[in-house]
């Protein structure tokens, strides 16, 4: 895997970086919320402009000093 950008290993289930709801990978490897919604929702259930993405592990943020945004 030379030349590939380093991405932190995520646990099987992680909190969403946008809404805090649990996220996991679907069968295609795309992040999805545990309630099977790709889009995030606000606390009232309204759809937001963001999609499921995990928070980076704390050790990754400590080592690299910044959060890597998924793209």
Residues 61, 8: Cα–Cα separation, whole Å: 9
| 67 within 8 A of 61, measured Cβ to Cβ | yes
Q: What is the pTM of this model?
A: 0.68
- Name the token pair of 38: 């790709």
Q: Which residues of 22-46 are buried (b: 16+ CB within 10 A; e: fewer)?
A: ebeeeeeeebbbeeeeeebbeeeee
Residues 22-56: tens digit of each pLDDT: 999 998 989 999 999 999 999 899 999 999 999 88
Domains of the chain by residue range:
14-56
């Amino acid at each position: 895997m030379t030349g590939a950008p380093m991405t932190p290993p995520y646990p099987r289930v992680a909190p969403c970086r946008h809404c805090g709801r649990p996220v996991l990978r679907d069968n295609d490897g795309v992040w999805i919320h545990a309630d099977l919604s790709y889009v995030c929702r606000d606390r009232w259930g309204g759809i937001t402009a963001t999609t499921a993405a995990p928070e980076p592990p704390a050790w990754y943020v400590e080592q690299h000093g910044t959060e890597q945004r998924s793209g």
